[in-house]
């Protein structure tokens, strides 16, 4: 009986001031009057239900409870959403509470809205996004109601409309009490008050439309209706209980009393009819009655499908060790997962009928005061004999397996393939034929036949196109016990005759497949096409030498993979993924009746590189788009050797076939000029042609920073190991006042070389040094576009830590400094070049643009200086001197003023 109340008593439908077809909308209101069940006092209703909620929408889809059931959603949800605004089942909603009133003037309780619900354009209509010429739908729901109350509001000119529902007056109260345990005390439980609308995914975390049953729970159901419910006690010995009642004309009290439960002992029956104890695995009490149209969502199957195995812990056992539980009389479903069965039946096969190693079985529990023995399932082996003509040569490689297809609740998805047990009884060669007798479990739908490898040192056969299945049962469920190879097919493709199958040997470099490459083969026999990925099953047998043999004629070890293929045309190629392939890499061949073919993946078709680096080997394999070089990078820190650093960055040339390359190292030691702590690290220099790039940031850090304590020196264990072909910069800096942005980094350039190198780390106390440009701070001149700063005769590069703002904390020594400022406003360059000496404990200021007349003349034995750059008086760089004053920067770093007439 549907309770949708299609009302025609509400609301004018005209928009105000929007140029629509109808007149202006009146300021209308909605009042609602919902009569409470008769014979129930207001105090009881307030305790059971309290307030209610009415929800409005522009779609009546939310009347359809199947949407909730199929998607495992709670009826208390405001609306159902498939996963996007464009798929909302009802697009907008608007909710208001309905208050319980104790007396309607005649002594009856009712629910209603004490404040009128306004139906003007900026309120209800706006919230539900409806048009004035369309109805608005509403519903009223409570978990205590057995039915949803629904209705619609049609357009009307009425100033005020009252919605009056009387359906609930016919409802009767059904009170569910907490279950009574074996000792007579209450047991905590959860309740599904209606099996049509509740579900559980196995645990208490998500149970839509189920209620905690630790105190009485009331359900209001219409007289004469059948109420199907489920009680799940939180106990390790009590099974859940599904039952039903027909609602009477009076209040009904439902108590689930486990003092009336029967001790049930669960067994699996073998093929000889004996009850076999189940002494292992997981036994669970479940209820599986999926509603029509229910679909899975996550680990749920829609309403009416309860799996509460996580609660039932099956700690009760029978004297023979089999699982037991206390169960109330009636029908009940149990599930076993991965059981262990004690049986003497030689033909016993585990009767799995649900995916992931489950057995589901429904049993009937009689009323009894004594323990009862129940069988959940029975082993029903089926003996199948398969005769394969001309298959004797492949007797050692043919394998049989069995599977079936299951659907929820026997799987988590539709049409799921599930493996079932099968057992080979005999394998006989008769002439050139092979006859195999197999036992399959009674639930088997298909028997599969495959020609695969028997892995080991004596076999290198890894795959074939022979892998098809046969239906064991005919159209009417009659099992087929006599089969031939003509019965095996898949997607319409039958097996090729065994007489037309021949081995093809593929000679494969071992490390090729170990790097993830796969050998694909496909072709055609008769009218049927096949495709197989052989290397998916490839494994190197014990007779294969997996180690490289450098210095020999064939340094790369090969393996032989034998594939059984039918006569006809074939093609193969090697790649990492089964993706659209390059036709240039496809190799074709024809297999005839008498051919013994060998296909070799030659050296010229791939590049294999072995890099021997310090204490390890790395293998790199290329088969497509082979590069000319391999950029090899290594930056490791050996903690067992006091953080010894190994660094290499080399371009390794490659040629087709086998490449052997050894990375050699030299030591970079650090010596300190004082007993002070110094930080160090390795960075790769990066060179830029852009003159506007601040070259003091042109470094790529390759690793962490380490340190040498003040009382240590760089020993062999802590030396930096750099490959002889790599070019790096060793960065050092003082650790005192660590974190200061004024302390620069000192870079010692390490050129490629086989010789060890010692780098001096300057660790004297730093001296605060300020810099000016014509008496002004550098920041007022412009941005620094170039900076080259060096310390000492070995020209150790000095780089500010973050940016150069006019101050550096420098260690004592002689410096050369050259650079340019660039002013964006005037687009002018301001060059500078100075040499200066920093003395210990003497803070100083360095003028970056000293008076040219004060520059000392070059010594007689020095090389004559040449003009390096020319600037106008305003700082703009010019290509050649112009009439008037010019500023010439010389190659020796000096700056001269030249007047051209």
Structural domains in the chain plus CATH codes: 4-165 (no CATH), 172-259 (2.60.40.2190), 262-378 (2.60.40.1120), 381-601 (no CATH), 630-761 (no CATH), 767-900 (no CATH)
- Identify the pLDDT of residue 690: 44
Q: Structure pTM?
A: 0.63
Here the tokens at position 234 are 């939180």
pLDDT digits (tens, 9 = 90+) for 763-776: 788 899 999 888 88
Percent of the chain that is helix, strand, coil (3-state, to 5) = 10, 45, 45
- Identify the pLDDT of residue 89: 46
Here the tokens at position 482 are 């006599």
Q: What residues contact residue 534 under an 8 Å CB cut-off, 6+ apart?
A: 462, 463, 506, 518, 519, 520, 521, 561, 563
pLDDT digits (tens, 9 = 90+) for 370-416: 999 999 999 999 999 999 999 998 888 788 888 888 887 888 778 88
Nearest Cα neighbor of 96 from 147, 189, 34, 18 is 34
Q: Indicate whether 475 pLDDT > 80.
A: no
Strand ranges for 738-875 from DSSP E? 745-750, 757-761, 767-772, 783-791, 796-799, 807-810, 813-823, 828-838, 844-847, 867-871
Q: Indicate whether 860 pLDDT > 50.
A: no
Three-class DSSP category at 63: helix
- Identify the pLDDT of residue 199: 77
What span, in angstroms and rounded, lies between the C-alpha atoms of 617 and 461? 30
What percent of the chain lies above the pLDDT cut of 70? 73
Mean pLDDT of the chain: 77
- Identify the pLDDT of residue 99: 86
- Long-range contact pairs involving 394-397 (C-beta distance under 8 Å, separation at least 24): 394/434, 394/451, 394/498, 394/501, 394/564, 395/427, 395/429, 395/434, 396/454, 396/459, 397/451, 397/452, 397/453, 397/454, 397/459, 397/461, 397/564
What span, in angstroms and rounded, lies between the C-alpha atoms of 428 and 412? 40
Top-confidence residue, 285 or 267: 267
Count Cα atoms within 13 angstroms, Cβ side, for 155.
Answer: 16
Q: What residues contact residue 520 under an 8 Å CB cut-off, 6+ apart?
A: 531, 532, 533, 534, 535, 572, 573, 574, 575, 578, 581
- Identify the pLDDT of residue 392: 93
As a dihedral over the C-alpha atoms of residue 298, residue 301, residue 305, residue 309, rounded to 10 degrees, the angle is -30
- Identify the pLDDT of residue 224: 93
Q: CA 549, 553, 557: angle at the middle one, nearest 5?
A: 45
What percent of the chain lies above the pLDDT cut of 90? 27
pLDDT digits (tens, 9 = 90+) for 434-452: 999 999 988 778 888 776 6
Lowest mean pLDDT: which of 650-664, 681-695, 832-846?
A: 681-695
Nearest Cα neighbor of 181 from 234, 221, 140 is 234
- Identify the pLDDT of residue 802: 66
Verify cis geometry, omega within 30 degrees of 0, for the bond prior to 272: no
- Identify the pLDDT of residue 269: 97
Query: Among all chains, which residue has been given the structure tokens 């062999």?
Result: 716
Q: What mean pLDDT comes out for the span 639-666?
A: 82
DSSP state of 709: -
Q: Indicate whether 327 pLDDT > 90.
A: yes
Q: How confident is the model at residue 624 (pLDDT cuts 50, 70, 90)?
A: low
Q: Indicate whether 157 pLDDT > 80.
A: no
Sign of the torsion angle spanned by Cα atoms 320, 322, 323, 326? negative
pLDDT digits (tens, 9 = 90+) for 195-250: 877 777 655 567 888 899 999 999 999 999 999 999 999 888 999 999 999 999 98
What span, in angstroms and rounded, lies between the C-alpha atoms of 471 and 461? 27
- CB atoms inside a 10 Å sphere around CB 764: 17
Report CA-CA distances (Å) from 820 to 463, 782, 814, 823, 882: 71, 9, 21, 10, 21
């Amino acid at each position: 009986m549907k309770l949708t109340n299609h009302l025609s008593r509400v609301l004018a439908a005209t928009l105000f001031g929007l140029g629509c077809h109808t007149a202006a909308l009146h300021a209308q209101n909605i009042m609602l009057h919902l009569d409470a069940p008769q014979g129930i006092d207001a105090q009881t209703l307030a305790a059971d239900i309290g307030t209610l909620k009415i929800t409005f929408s522009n779609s009546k889809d939310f009347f359809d409870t199947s949407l909730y059931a199929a998607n495992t959603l709670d009826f208390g949800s405001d609306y159902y959403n498939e996963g996007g605004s464009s798929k909302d089942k009802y697009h907008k909603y608007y909710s208001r509470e309905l208050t319980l009133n104790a007396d309607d003037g005649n002594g009856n309780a009712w629910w209603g809205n004490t404040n009128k619900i306004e139906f003007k354009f900026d309120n209800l209509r706006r919230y539900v996004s409806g048009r004035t010429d369309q109805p608005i739908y509403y519903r009223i729901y409570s978990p205590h109601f057995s039915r949803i109350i629904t209705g619609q509001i049609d357009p009307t000119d009425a100033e005020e409309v009252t919605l009056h529902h009387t359906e609930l007056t016919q409802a009767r109260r059904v009170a569910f009490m907490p279950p009574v345990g074996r000792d007579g005390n209450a047991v905590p439980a959860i309740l599904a008050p209606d099996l049509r609308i509740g579900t559980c995914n196995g645990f208490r975390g998500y149970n839509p439309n189920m209620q905690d049953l630790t105190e009485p729970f009331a359900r209001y159901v219409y007289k004469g209706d059948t109420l199907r419910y489920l009680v799940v006690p939180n106990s390790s010995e009590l099974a859940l209980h599904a039952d039903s009642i027909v609602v009477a004309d009076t209040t009904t009290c439902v108590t689930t009393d486990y003092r009336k439960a029967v001790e049930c002992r669960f067994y699996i029956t073998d093929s000889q009819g004996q009850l076999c104890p189940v002494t292992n695995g997981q036994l669970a009490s479940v209820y599986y009655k999926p509603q029509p149209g229910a679909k899975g969502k996550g680990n749920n199957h829609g309403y009416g499908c309860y799996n509460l195995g996580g609660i039932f812990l099956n700690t009760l056992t029978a004297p023979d060790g089999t699982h037991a539980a206390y169960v109330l009389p009636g029908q009940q479903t149990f599930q076993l997962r991965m059981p262990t069965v004690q049986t003497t039946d030689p033909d016993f096969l585990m009767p799995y009928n649900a995916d992931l190693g489950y057995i589901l079985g429904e049993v009937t529990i009689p009323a009894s005061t004594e323990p009862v023995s129940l069988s959940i399932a029975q082993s029903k082996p089926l003996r199948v004999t398969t005769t394969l003509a001309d298959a004797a040569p492949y007797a050692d490689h043919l394998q049989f397996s069995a599977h079936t297809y299951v659907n929820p609740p026997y799987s988590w998805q539709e049409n799921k393939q599930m493996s079932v047990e099968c057992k080979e009884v005999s394998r006989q060669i008769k002439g050139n034929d092979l006859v195999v007798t197999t036992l399959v479990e009674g639930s088997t739908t298909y028997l599969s036949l495959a020609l695969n490898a028997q892995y080991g040192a004596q076999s290198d056969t890894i795959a074939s196109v022979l892998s098809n299945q046969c239906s064991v049962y005919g159209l009417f469920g009659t099992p087929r016990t006599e089969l031939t190879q003509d019965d095996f097919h898949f997607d319409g493709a039958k097996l090729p005759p065994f007489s037309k199958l021949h081995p093809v040997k593929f000679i494969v470099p071992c490390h090729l497949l170990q790097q993830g490459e796969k050998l694909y083969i496909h072709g055609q026999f008769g009218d049927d096409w096949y495709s197989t990925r052989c290397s998916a099953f490839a494994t190197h047998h014990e007779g294969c030498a997996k180690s490289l043999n450098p210095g020999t004629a064939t340094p790369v070890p090969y393996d032989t993979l034998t594939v059984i293929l039918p006569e006809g045309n074939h093609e193969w190629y090697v790649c990492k993924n089964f993706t659209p392939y390059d036709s240039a890499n496809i190799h074709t061949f024809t297999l005839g009746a008498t051919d013994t073919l060998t296909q070799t993946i030659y050296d010229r078709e791939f590049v294999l590189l072995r890099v021997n680096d310090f204490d390890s080997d790395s293998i790199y394999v290329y088969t497509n788009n082979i590069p000319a070089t391999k950029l090899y990078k290594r930056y490791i820190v050996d903690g067992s050797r006091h953080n010894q650093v190994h660094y290499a960055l080399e371009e390794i040339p490659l040629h087709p076939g086998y490449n052997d390359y050894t990375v050699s190292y030299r030591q970079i030691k650090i010596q300190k000029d004082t007993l002070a702590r110094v930080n160090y690290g390795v960075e790769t220099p990066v060179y830029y042609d852009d003159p506007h790039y601040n070259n003091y940031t042109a470094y790529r850090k390759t690793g962490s920073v380490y340190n040498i304590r003040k009382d240590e020196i760089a020993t062999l264990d802590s030396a930096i190991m750099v490959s002889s072909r790599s070019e790096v910069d060793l960065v050092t800096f003082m650790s005192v006042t660590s974190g200061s942005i004024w302390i620069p980094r000192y870079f010692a350039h390490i050129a490629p070389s086989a010789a060890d190198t010692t780098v001096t780390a300057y660790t004297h106390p730093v001296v605060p040094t300020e810099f000016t440009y014509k008496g002004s701070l550098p920041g007022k001149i412009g941005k620094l576009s170039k900076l080259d700063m060096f310390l000492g005769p070995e020209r150790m590069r000095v780089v500010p830590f973050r940016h150069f703002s006019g101050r550096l904390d420098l260690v004592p020594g002689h410096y050369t400094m050259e650079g340019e400022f660039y002013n964006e406003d005037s687009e002018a360059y301001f060059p500078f070049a100075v040499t200066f000496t920093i003395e210990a404990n003497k803070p100083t200021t360095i003028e970056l643009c000293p008076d040219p007349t004060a520059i000392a003349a070059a010594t007689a034995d020095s090389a004559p200086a040449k003009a390096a750059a020319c600037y106008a008086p305003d700082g703009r760089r010019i290509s050649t001197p112009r009439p008037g004053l010019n500023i010439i920067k010389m190659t020796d770093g000096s700056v001269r003023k030249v007047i051209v007439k």
